[in-house]
Amino acid sequence: MKWTAITTQNRGPMRNYEELKRRGYVAKEQRLNIRSGTCQGSVYGAKMAARPQGSGVKPRVMSGRYCQFETFTAECRPDEAIMIEKAQYGRMALDGVCVKRDYGYVGCQTDVRMLVHMRCSGRPACSLDISDPVFERTKPCPDDLKLYLETSYRCVGVISPPSGSCSRAHAVLIRSPSGYLSSYVTNTTMCGSATAPWRISLNPGQRVNISLLDFSGQPEGSPVGQGVHCKVFAIVKDLKSGKSRTVCGHSNGEHHHVMLSTGSEVEIRIMSKTSPFMIEYQAVGCPDPEAPRGGWFYRDRYDQNRVHMGCDDGTTWTMSCKGFTWIGSRGNCTLISESMNGLDLTDLPKSSALIIVVGIALIVGCAILVIGIIFLKRRYTARGARHAMRRDQEKIGPPGKEIVYMTSEPRDTGYSIQPPLLRRDFSSVDENEYAYVEDYQKCTPSSGHVPPPPRVPDTARPNMLPAHPCHSPLPEHQRKDVQHPGFRADLYNSLDGTQCQYRDDVNCQSPTAIQRHNPYNVLDMSDEAKKANVAS
């Protein structure tokens, strides 16, 4: 570590060393190599590497005397802050440097620590003239006597992120178990402000103890609402409980306890931009222990420093917390899976476990896809069948209609009947017509082939109706029924050439009536025959 000697009034290195020693800058155990310009140990005021808080290394403490016309200068690293331990002003002792003669006032002095606090504490460096009127106004001794300042301070590490890293509105995460938060750092970097608060996150199970070090010299206060003015320095929020605590200023610069969190995370927002102060935080208690495999643990309800652990088979034990470490014997649990087949899935490496999980997920996904395809296929098949049935129904016709398709040429009967395509609506016929249609005797051939009847030339009998295929008369009850007069037997069985001779014959009907009662629903007559029949 390089050491630069202070040169004043063209003194050599030895004279400079003697002056440093006289002022108390050099510790007794320090070994100085004047020729090489280096030193081993601590040189008060020199720049040293920062030591993280909570690592067991104590902060460096510097002390010295400064005569009436000298300047007190304190300097730490940029990531450190000055904390004044002692500051006495007066004629404390006859040291031969600042006080050379005893005029009967040796021992008059006053405590000016708060004055030095306001100028130096919380900052990385400061300087203060001993002849400053702020000291003279204290008047611990007669005015004609020379007074001096005796101080001691230490450099403590503070959380100091790089400049510009807190320009965005997000919390600044802190994971160290202890440390100091300086208002000077917040005012220069904006880290820890209301928009970018400090977020202290410790291990689960630990709690955070918050204390205030006020260097502003303001009168003591308490939160607003109790009738006393409060100069708000900061707001501390316990993230577990959601409760916030307002930090007010005090006047003596000592530690003032603020709160002990219920969880392992707190947020701190520095609100004051003018008053110098620091907030100290420390982890309290041991973190949650790792539960034994195949077992459990829980903290004591009445003593958070005790933890109870056990196995599923009923074995239990207790451990105590000392500092940050659990003290006590720790048992082992035998997994049920190991006792049964010696296999435990937790023993698999993370890569193998990941492959197994991905494989299971793929299998389940494929199964769901196949089931979905089958379901959709069945649904589309059923829908196609319904559409086909609907198309067939549309071809047949609307409900209540009967479509009769008759070919223009009879099949091997020799008949000249050429019925058109007719559509009959049976929904409007009465019950008698239905009865007539149902009672009509249908042809039931005794053999598989029915020979066609002989044709009678139309020229010989122009007024005759074509012969009926059945060659049999209508039943007697239909022939005599007035509602259903029927037709003459010889009209249908017309092989003998008999015709209807009289219009008023009950069995001789007009062509219109014949067409209405004709089971074929047609009348195959030439126009000349129709006219002759009507005329008769």
pLDDT digit string, tens, across residues 90-128: 988 887 788 888 777 788 889 999 899 888 999 999 999
What is the residue type of 139? K
Give dist(CA 80, CA 123) in Å, integer.
8
Residue for token digits 């510790």? 27
What is the residue type of 47? K
Would you state the pLDDT for residue 473?
55
Give dist(CA 331, CA 307) in Å, integer.
13
Per-residue pLDDT for 14 more than 90? no
Between 436 and 35, whose confidence is greater? 436
Would you state the pLDDT for residue 501?
39
With residue 174 as reference, give the H or E element that holds it.
Answer: strand 172-174
Confidence bin at 455 (pLDDT 50/70/90): low
Per-residue pLDDT for 142 more than 80? yes
Strand order in 148-157's β-sheet?
60-66, 148-157, 80-90, 109-111
Per-residue pLDDT for 402 more than 50? no
Between 102 and 4, whose confidence is greater? 102
Confidence bin at 235 (pLDDT 50/70/90): very high
Would you state the pLDDT for residue 291?
83
Confidence bin at 348 (pLDDT 50/70/90): low
Residues 6+ positions from 475 with CB-CB distance below 8 Å: 439, 441, 486
Per-residue pLDDT for 4 more than 70? no
Per-residue pLDDT for 298 more than 80? yes
**415: Cα separation from own chain's centroid:** 88
Q: Do domains 44-155 and 172-284 have the same CATH topology?
A: yes
Q: Are strands 109-111 and 172-174 parallel, antiparallel or unpaired?
A: unpaired
Would you state the pLDDT for residue 32?
30
Confidence bin at 153 (pLDDT 50/70/90): very high
* Cβ atoms < 10 Å from Cβ of 413: 15
CA atoms within 13 A on the CB side of 52: 7
Both tokens assigned to 470: 């059945």
Among residues of the chain, what percentage have pLDDT more than 70? 56
Confidence bin at 528 (pLDDT 50/70/90): low
Would you state the pLDDT for residue 396?
63
Structurally, at CATH architecture level, domain 44-155 sits in Sandwich (2.60)
Would you state the pLDDT for residue 399?
52
Residue for token digits 């086909």? 388
Q: 100, exposed or middle or buried, with CB in 10 Å at 0-12, 13-18, 19+? A: exposed
Annotated domain spans of the chain: 44-155, 172-284, 295-335, 422-443+455-535
Per-residue pLDDT for 417 more than 60? no
Domain at 172-284: CATH code: 2.60.120.290
Confidence bin at 312 (pLDDT 50/70/90): confident
pTM of the shown model: 0.51
pLDDT for 156-187, tens place per residue? 999 988 777 787 778 899 999 999 999 999 99
CA atoms within 13 A on the CB side of 270: 29
- Ranked by mean pLDDT, the top range of 47-56, 230-239, 243-252 is 230-239
**348: Cα separation from own chain's centroid:** 29
Give dist(CA 21, CA 533) in Å, integer.
159
